[in-house]
């Protein structure tokens, strides 16, 4: 039985081995290493025991048909599914003629450590074979940030016996069947056909999508024999007493010179050596943490979870361009490896303020798919571009249109990410080459979709907002407000401005709250929260969910976070209390935004609880299963809860603003962010906030304009918080469960 050790500030430590398949899959996601380009799930070195093998290359996918009980116009006919790439992780050990098998013999010690500063996964094991031989094994795994195509393993074993190691590069491993969950990936067997093999290289091509992938491998530090075939390359080494070697892999795909590129990158990494790869990795992460780190004194678990989340956000996005950032990163095959709308709304904001080079690449990838989005808009009889709900290479891959195609807000989410990135970086070159066109083409869709009624009010009808339990509604507030921002930024023509100014924002005078969508507050209430098993979508038909006031994830709350200037504080308070009682958080996207608004409204303990939910969703038991990959948006959500919640970060109108607070459970919090080439460090303790800048920076502290020069520091008293020691109103009720 394994357990995650007590929280450490800069590491995640697993002691022992998971005892079942679910535990193995979860651990394999937690201990995945990636760089946005390639990803290795945290499988053990030896092939078994294994929950779900996984080596993933960003945008290495296979096509498959989408079938429908009843066909319909413009239904996507094909989808894309990420495939398990040629796997270079397996290393099989034989000791004195007996296989190193953790399910036999005596396992005296087994420990794995994900080091968030070194960017490595280290494994140590002490095992006694059935024949009585004690074996000490240590491996260190790295996926290079500096060398996007390179991964490497250092493997060392000591035992008083004859040792044999078989180190494999293998293709088309057997995959476990998919989970019975609509969020799980399809499983594609035999995805590849062989193209070429040599003593240090395998080249394959996917059967339908036609993507060629080349993998080059070398072993240094010990002599061995190589046997190779079309689908497997095996390096075998023997020794007595001790054996140590470095295994270096390089991948090339999705280009014209995959074979030459893989060989060149492998050789360059081998010349540098494993120790240099580790040094490069540490230097890269030192630079990242200097601008991204969050310090939380008083909550060790959330401290660990927040850094764990930031590390995986970086792993998902560091080398994403010219590819997307998948919802699971490269930690698993969940959601078929698709990128979703939460990339622009959750992941890119975090990277904008911590590692903005990633964001420029990610948005340029969106721009590279613009022609496909234009084509989809024409197919839907719309103008401009209609960006896909789910995709890998650009086409719409969602077969369920009420929660896919109808969720037009993805257009505004992309435009918002462009505006935020430009405001934070001043990257005018990006705007000329990609950003301006993205804003204009996304806005043209709203110009076509919106219409004016006989009273001159503009509406967007029949859409699905962020809440997937309320579909095909009119005037979703989040969609309308984000579309308004998109239209105003594009400034296409006078008509577009007129529509933006007149877009409806539904409000219920009787309830004194905004309606998530028109008529939402008149729907029947959900009456059985106490008796429910969650998530509701696995136990109720959407026909039932769509007709009730039950919310899967923050929707109107998200609107109040992203478009806060459109609401008064009193409106936010009433809205928050109303929707808290109806939000079941069946989505990992909900807690971060609920944390932000709870903090803004001075429900600081509640905000701290939601921060904990986001930070520990995958890391600790009790959250959604992460066995098919981590929830990268929830990983980003921990930063959002801290910096936008307790830090009060807002960027409305391209201006940086901060309104810091600190919850009762913390004695100090500190975060960093980047803005226009400068770094700002914000330290908050009860009653006081201190700002330190390494370059010129201007921002609003509460309602006061503040400017700092390089090396300058400023300290202010915190504004009093109403709910210390008692909240202004009782803590809003939430659904049981």
d(CA 278, CA 285): 11
CA-to-CA distance for 186 and 190, rounded, in angstroms? Answer: 13
Count of CB atoms situated within 10 Å of the CB of 14? 21
Burial tier of 510 (Cβ tally within 10 Å: 0-12, 13-18, 19+): exposed
Structure tokens at 91: 């290393």
Coil, strand or helix: which one is 132? coil
> How many Å apart are CA 205 and CA 237, to the nearest integer?
30
Active site residues: 468
- The first and second tokens of residue 75, run together, are 């239904």
Contact (CB, 8 A) for 359 and 351: yes
Q: Which residues of 582-598 are buried (b: 16+ CB within 10 A; e: fewer)?
A: bbbbbbbbbbbbbbbbb
Token digits of residue 173: 């491993």
CA distances from 84 to 87, 189, 201, 232, 614 (A): 8, 9, 18, 14, 28
- Which tokens is 273 given? 């050596």
Dihedral (C-alpha) 479, 482, 487, 490: value to the nearest 10 degrees?
Answer: -140
Of residues 121, 152, 116, the one with CA closest to residue 285: 116
Run of H or E residues at 170 = strand 150-170
What is the C-alpha separation between 345 and 47, in angstroms, rounded? 38
> Taking the mean position of all CA atoms in its chain, how far away is CA 174?
26
Q: How many CB atoms lie within 10 A of CB 522?
A: 11
Mark 36-67 as b/e (b = at least 16 C-beta within 10 Å). Answer: bbbbbbbbbbbbebbbbbbbbbbbbbbbbeee
The 10 Å Cβ neighbour count of residue 706 is: 17
Q: 388, 368, 385: which is closest to 320 by C-alpha?
A: 368
Inter-CA distances, 477 with 384, 473, 519, 567, 649, Å: 22, 10, 12, 11, 22
In the chain, % helix, strand, coil (3-state, to 5) comes to 35, 25, 40
Instruction: Look up residue 634 and give its two tokens.
Output: 């929830």
Angle at alpha carbon of residue 529, lines to 528 and 535, rounded to 5°: 115
DSSP code at position 724: S
HSE, side-chain direction, 13 A CA sphere, residue 214: 21
The maximal CA–CA distance of the chain, rounded, in angstroms, is 88
Q: Which segments of 51-101 are extended strands (E)?
A: 55-57, 61-65, 78-82, 91-95, 98-99
Q: Are 248 and 270 a contacting pair, CB within 8 Å?
A: yes
- Rounded Cα–Cα distance for residues 130 and 265 (Å): 42
Q: Is the distance from CB of 441 to CB of 451 less than 8 angstroms?
A: no
Gap between the Cα atoms of 106 and 103, Å rounded: 8
């Amino acid at each position: 039985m394994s357990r995650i050790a007590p929280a450490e500030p800069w590491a995640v430590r697993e002691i022992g081995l998971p005892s079942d398949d679910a535990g193995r899959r979860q651990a394999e996601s937690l201990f995945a290493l990636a760089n946005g380009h390639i990803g290795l799930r945290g499988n053990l070195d030896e092939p078994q025991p294994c929950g779900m093998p996984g080596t993933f290359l960003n945008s290495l996918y296979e096509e498959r048909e989408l079938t429908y009980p009843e066909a319909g116009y413009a239904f996507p006919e094909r989808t894309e599914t990420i495939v398990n790439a040629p796997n270079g992780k397996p290393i099989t050990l034989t000791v004195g003629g007996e296989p190193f098998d953790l399910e036999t013999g005596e396992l005296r010690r087994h420990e794995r450590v994900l080091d968030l500063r070194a960017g490595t996964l280290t494994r140590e094991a002490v095992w006694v074979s059935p024949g009585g031989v004690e074996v000490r094994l240590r491996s260190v795994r790295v996926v290079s940030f500096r060398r996007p195509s390179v991964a490497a393993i250092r493997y060392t074993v000591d035992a008083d016996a004859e040792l044999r190691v078989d180190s494999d590069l293998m293709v088309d491993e057997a995959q476990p069947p998919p989970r019975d969950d609509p969020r799980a990936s399809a499983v594609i067997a035999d995805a590849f056909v062989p193209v070429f093999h040599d003593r240090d290289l395998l080249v394959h091509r996917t059967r339908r999508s036609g993507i060629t992938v080349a993998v080059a491998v070398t072993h240094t530090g010990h002599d061995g024999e190589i046997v190779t075939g079309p689908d497997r390359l095996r390096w075998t080494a023997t020794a007595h007493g001790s054996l140590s070697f470095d295994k270096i892999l390089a991948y090339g795909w999705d280009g014209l010179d995959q074979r030459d590129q893989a060989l060149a990158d492998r050789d360059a990494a081998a010349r540098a050596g494993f120790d240099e790869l580790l040094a490069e990795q540490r230097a890269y992460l030192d630079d990242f943490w200097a601008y991204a780190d969050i310090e939380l004194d008083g909550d060790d678990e959330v401290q660990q979870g927040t850094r764990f989340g930031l590390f995986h956000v970086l792993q998902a996005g560091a080398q994403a361009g010219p590819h997307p950032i998948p919802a699971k990163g490269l930690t698993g095959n969940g959601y078929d490896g698709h990128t979703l709308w939460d990339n622009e709304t959750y992941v890119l904001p975090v990277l904008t303020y911590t590692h903005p080079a990633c964001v420029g690449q990610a948005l340029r990838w969106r721009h590279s798919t613009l022609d496909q989005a234009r084509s989809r808009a024409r197919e839907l009889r719309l103008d401009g571009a209609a960006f896909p709900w789910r995709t890998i290479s650009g086409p719409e891959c969602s077969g369920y249109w009420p929660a896919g195609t109808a969720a037009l807000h993805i257009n505004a989410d992309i435009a918002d990410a462009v505006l935020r990135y430009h405001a934070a970086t001043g990257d005018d070159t990006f705007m000329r080459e990609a950003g301006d066109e993205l804003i204009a083409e996304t806005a043209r869709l709203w110009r076509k979709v919106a219409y004016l009624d006989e009273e001159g009010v503009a509406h967007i009808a029949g859409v699905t907002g962020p809440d997937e339990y309320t579909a095909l509604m009119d005037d979703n507030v989040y969609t309308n407000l984000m579309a308004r921002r998109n239209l105003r930024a594009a400034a296409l023509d006078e008509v577009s401005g007129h529509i933006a100014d007149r877009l409806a924002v539904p409000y219920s005078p009787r309830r004194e709250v905004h309606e998530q969508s028109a008529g939402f507050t008149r729907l029947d209430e959900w009456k059985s929260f106490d008796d429910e098993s969650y998530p509701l979508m696995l136990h109720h038909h959407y026909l039932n969910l769509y007709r009730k006031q039950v919310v899967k994830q923050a929707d109107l709350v998200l609107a109040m976070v992203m478009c806060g200037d459109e609401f008064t504080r009193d409106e936010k308070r009433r809205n928050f209390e109303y929707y808290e009682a109806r939000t079941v958080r069946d989505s990992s996207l909900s807690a971060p935004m609920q944390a932000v608004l709870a903090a803004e409204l001075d429900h600081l303990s509640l905000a701290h609880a939601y921060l904990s939910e986001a930070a520990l969703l995958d890391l600790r038991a009790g959250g959604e299963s992460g066995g098919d990959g981590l929830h990268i948006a929830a990983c980003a959500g921990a930063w959002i809860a801290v910096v936008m919640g307790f830090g009060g970060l807002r960027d409305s109108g391209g201006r940086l603003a901060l309104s810091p607070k600190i919850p009762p459970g913390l004695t100090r919090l500190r975060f960093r962010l980047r803005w226009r080439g400068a770094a700002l460090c914000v330290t908050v303790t009860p009653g006081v906030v201190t700002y330190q800048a390494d370059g010129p920076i201007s921002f609003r502290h509460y309602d006061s304009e503040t400017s700092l020069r390089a090396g300058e520091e400023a300290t202010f008293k915190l504004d009093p918080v109403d709910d210390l020691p008692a909240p202004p109103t009782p803590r809003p009720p939430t659904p049981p469960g």
